[in-house]
């Protein structure tokens, strides 16, 4: 008899089809995040689960008797919604989908950089509102990205893919901060000793670290104070890495020139203060939102599920 797999959101059909090779698949027909109580029930009702971000696999969900699930094959590289320690203690393995998300997320970072620097959102809003009166030499003057300096906080897969695009595509000099030494950043780039140093010398700063207890509010008021007043701040990683109130204060006071955000501290709540500022580009967590990318992410999660069903080593184990 096939093992039981619970998929917490509707996913592209090829992903479900691939999972059916080894599992009896139940798909939850809702896009609302799973509460800890929903997660606790799923952990007791199924042999494996394919969850995604915002599903709250907290310590509370793993606590107590009767756990049947042995694998959480997460859909996505970021797994900060799963208490990996609690999962491990309960005998539940956790996997993720590194690599499948890298290029698409780097592309969204470039979208944010260019839109923010060149005031594209502001221009589009003006045009759609019927306020455009035609080209003139001093209209909507933005910042020229080509040849400026990029600072990356977190030079992993996505950080490197962003830096590569900026260096080879836009002739940008690259500096970065990473907690460990990065020997091969993939292009000429200087690793600096602190976040403040990187933020202080960069024209554009991009955050690409994972959300962990160590990175909560890693970017705070002190980090924003180090930035150039002409600097642009971009976050494609996770919202709670940034002290959002400090970001708002830095933007409102003119301490920094603009921001481009794909993620928010209390997602999907986006503060009115951010929505009111023309110099801020706001995207709804679009990093991997392309059908082939979401399919690839799903198939990578399924590879882990199939390996688990065959009793093999899990290719993308994180816990
Ligand atoms: N917006 C989106 O849709 C989207 C899509 C994909 C990934 N993400 C986020 O991007 C994150 C990064 O993904 P990745 O594949 O590049 O991960 P990765 O593990 O390849 O890279 C993370 C880098 O950050 C560094 N790092 C970790 N903790 C640090 C710290 N405390 N200080 C400094 N550096 C630190 C690591 O050494 C590593 O080089 C994911 O964890 C996820 O949360 C967002
Ligand atoms: O962590 C990830 O992979 C993304 O945020 C999902 O798109």
Question: For the chain (length 319 residues), average pLDDT per consecutive 10?
Answer: 97 98 98 98 98 98 97 98 98 97 98 98 98 97 98 98 98 98 96 98 98 98 98 98 98 98 98 98 98 98 98 97
How much distance in Å is there from the Cα of 125 to the middle of ligand 1? 32
| Residue found by looking up tokens 């990187």 in the block | 198
Same domain, 196 and 272: yes
Q: Clarify whether 28 is annotated catalytic.
A: no
Within this chain, do residues 89 and 160 fall inside the same structural domain, yes or no? no
Based on the domain organization, do 35 and 134 belong to the same domain?
no
The 3-state secondary structure of 90-137, one letter per residue = CCCEEECCCCCCHHHHHHHHHHHHHHHHCCHHHHHHHHHCCCCCCCCC
The pLDDT, as a whole number, for residue 47 is 98
Please tell me whether residues 93 and 106 are part of one structural domain. no
The string of pLDDT tens digits covering residues 228-278 is 999 999 999 999 999 999 999 999 999 999 999 999 999 999 999 999 999
Give the pLDDT confidence score for residue 36 in this predicted structure. Answer: 98
> Tell me, what's the pLDDT at 293?
98
Number of structural domains, the chain? 2
Does 72 lie in the same domain as 10? yes
Shared-domain flag, residues 185 and 92: no
CB of residue 22 inside a 6 A radius of ligand 1: no
What is the model's pLDDT at position 71? 98
Buried b (16+ CB within 10 A) or exposed e, 181-206: ebeebeeebebbeebbebbbbbbbbb
CATH number at residue 85: 3.40.50.720
For residues 183 and 206, give the distance between their C-alpha atoms in angstroms, rounded to a whole number: 20
With beta carbons less than 8 A apart as the criterion, state whether 181 and 191 touch.
yes
Query: Which ligand neighbours the alpha carbon of 235 most closely?
Result: 1
Secondary structure E strands in the chain: 3-7, 23-27, 48-50, 71-73, 93-95, 149-153, 173-177, 190-191, 204-207, 232-235, 258-261, 280-282
**Span from the CA of 63 to the centroid of ligand 2 (angstroms):** 26
What's the pLDDT tens digit per position in 36-52? 999 999 999 999 999 99
Nearest CA owner, ligand 2 atom 7:
288
Q: Is 149 a catalytic residue?
A: no
Q: Phi and psi (nearest 5°) for 206?
A: -120, 130
Residue 141 lies in a domain: yes
Give distance in angstroms: CA of 154 to centre of ligand 1: 6
267 is annotated as an active-site residue: yes
Q: Would you state the pLDDT for residue 258?
A: 98
State whether 22 and 37 are in the same domain.
yes
Q: Which of 51, 75, 99, 101 to mutate to test the pocket of ligand 2 (most atoms within 8 A of CB)?
A: 101
Which protein residue has the closest C-alpha to ligand 2 atom 2?
76
Note down the domain range covering 177: 102-282
Question: Which of 52, 154, 265 maximizes ligand 1 atoms within 8 Å of its Cβ, making it the mutation to test the pocket?
Answer: 154
Q: Is residue 217 part of a domain?
A: yes
Model's pTM, two decimal places?
0.98
Residue 271 pLDDT: 98
Shared-domain flag, residues 172 and 274: yes
Quick one: which H or E segment has residue 89? helix 84-89
Copy the structure tokens of residue 114: 């260019």
Q: Are 139 and 237 in a shared domain?
A: yes
In terms of domains, do 29 and 63 share one?
A: yes
User: What's residue 58's pLDDT?
Assistant: 98
Q: Return the residue whose CA atom lies nearest to atom 31 of ligand 1.
A: 215
Q: Are both 109 and 31 inside the same structural domain?
A: no
* pLDDT for position 119: 98
């Amino acid at each position: 008899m096939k093992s039981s797999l619970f998929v917490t959101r509707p996913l592209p059909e090829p992903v479900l089809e691939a999972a059916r090779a080894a599992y009896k698949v139940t798909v939850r027909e809702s896009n609302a995040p799973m509460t800890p109580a929903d997660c606790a029930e799923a952990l007791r009702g199924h042999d494996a689960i394919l969850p995604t971000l915002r599903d709250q696999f907290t310590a509370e969900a793993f606590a107590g008797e009767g756990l049947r699930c042995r694998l959480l094959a997460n859909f996505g590289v970021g797994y900060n919604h799963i208490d990996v320690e609690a999962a491990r203690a309960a005998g539940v393995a956790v996997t993720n989908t590194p690599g499948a998300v890298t290029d698409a997320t780097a592309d969204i970072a470039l979208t944010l950089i260019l839109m923010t620097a060149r005031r594209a959102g502001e221009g589009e809003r003006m045009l759609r509102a019927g306020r455009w009166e035609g080209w003139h030499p001093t209209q909507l003057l933005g910042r020229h990205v080509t040849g400026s300096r990029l600072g990356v906080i977190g030079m992993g897969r996505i950080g490197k893919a962003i830096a590569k695009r900026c260096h080879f595509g836009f002739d940008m000099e690259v500096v970065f901060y990473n907690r460990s030494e990065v020997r091969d950043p993939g292009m000429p780039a200087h690793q600096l000793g602190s976040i403040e140093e990187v933020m202080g010398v960069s024209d554009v700063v991009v955050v690409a670290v994972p959300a962990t207890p160590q990175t909560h509010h890693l970017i705070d008021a002190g980090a924003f104070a180090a930035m150039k007043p002409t600097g642009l701040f971009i976050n494609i990683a996770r919202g709670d890495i940034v002290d959002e109130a400090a970001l708002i204060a830095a933007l409102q006071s003119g301490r920094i020139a603009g921001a481009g955000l794909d993620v928010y501290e209390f997602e999907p709540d986006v503060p009115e203060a951010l929505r009111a500022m023309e110099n801020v580009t706001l995207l709804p967590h679009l990093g991997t939102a392309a059908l082939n990318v979401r399919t690839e992410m799903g198939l990578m999660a399924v590879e882990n599920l199939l390996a688990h069903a065959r009793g093999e080593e899990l290719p993308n184990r994180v816990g």
